Amino acid sequence: MGIYYLVVIDSHSKWIEAFCVKSTSAFYTIRVLRETFARFGNPLELVSDSGPPFSSLEFAEFLRYRGIKHIPVSPYKPSSNGAAENTVKLVKTCLKKAVRDGADVDEALQTFLMMHRATPHCTTGRTPAELLLKRNMRINLDLLVPNAEEIVRGRQLRAVNERQITCRELEEGAKVVFKIYKNNKEFWVKGSIIKRIGPLTYLMNDGSGYHKRHIDQIMRDHSVSQSNHATAGNTESITARTVATVPLASSLKSVPVTSPRAVGAQAAPAGPALPPVEGTAAPSGLISENRPMRIRRQPNRLINEA
Q: Where are the domains of the chain?
A: 4-141, 167-244
Q: How far apart are CA 299 and CA 306, in angstroms?
A: 14
Q: How far apart are CA 305 and CA 303, in angstroms?
A: 5
Calculate the alpha carbon distances from 118 to 39, 94, 125, 144, 150 in Å.
19, 16, 12, 16, 22
Residue 5 has pLDDT above 70, yes or no: yes
Calculate the alpha carbon distances from 292 to 35, 63, 243, 298 in Å.
96, 103, 25, 19
8 Å CB contact between 106 and 94? no
Closest of 51, 50, 22, 46 to residue 36, by C-alpha: 46
8 Å CB contact between 254 and 288? yes
Sign of the alpha-carbon dihedral angle for 191, 193, 197, 201 = positive
pLDDT tens digit sequence for 182-195: 888 998 999 999 99
Mean per-residue pLDDT, 208-217: 92
**CA angle, 23 as apex, 22 and 29 as ends, to 5°?**
105
Residue predicted with more confidence, 281 or 25: 25
Q: Taking the complete model, does pTM exceed 0.75, yes or no?
A: no
Calculate the alpha carbon distances from 260 to 47, 52, 63, 125, 288 in Å.
116, 128, 116, 100, 17
Helix or strand (DSSP H, E) at 93: helix 82-101
Q: How far apart are CA 144 and CA 136, in angstroms?
A: 15
**CA angle, 203 as apex, 197 and 205 as ends, to 5°?**
160
What is the number of other CB atoms lying within 10 angstroms of the CB of residue 130?
Answer: 17
DSSP assigned state of 183: T
pLDDT range class, residue 32, cuts 50, 70, 90: very high
Q: In the CATH scheme, what is the code of domain 167-244?
A: 2.30.30.140
8 Å CB contact between 167 and 200? yes
pLDDT range class, residue 160, cuts 50, 70, 90: confident
Adjacent-strand bridge partners of 185: 182
Say how far residue 170 (Cα) sits from the centre of its chain: 22
Three-state DSSP class for residue 52: helix
Domain 4-141 has CATH 3.30.420.10: yes
Model pLDDT, residue 168: 83
Q: How far apart are CA 296 and CA 209, in angstroms?
A: 73
Residue 238 has pLDDT above 90, yes or no: no
Sign of the alpha-carbon dihedral angle for 133, 139, 143, 144 = negative
Mean per-residue pLDDT, 195-224: 90
Q: How far apart are CA 289 and CA 253, in angstroms?
A: 6
Strand ranges in 162-289 using DSSP code E only, listed in sequence order: 175-182, 185-196, 201-205, 210-214, 218-220, 253-256, 286-289
pLDDT tens digit sequence for 66-107: 999 999 998 888 788 888 999 999 999 999 999 999 999 999
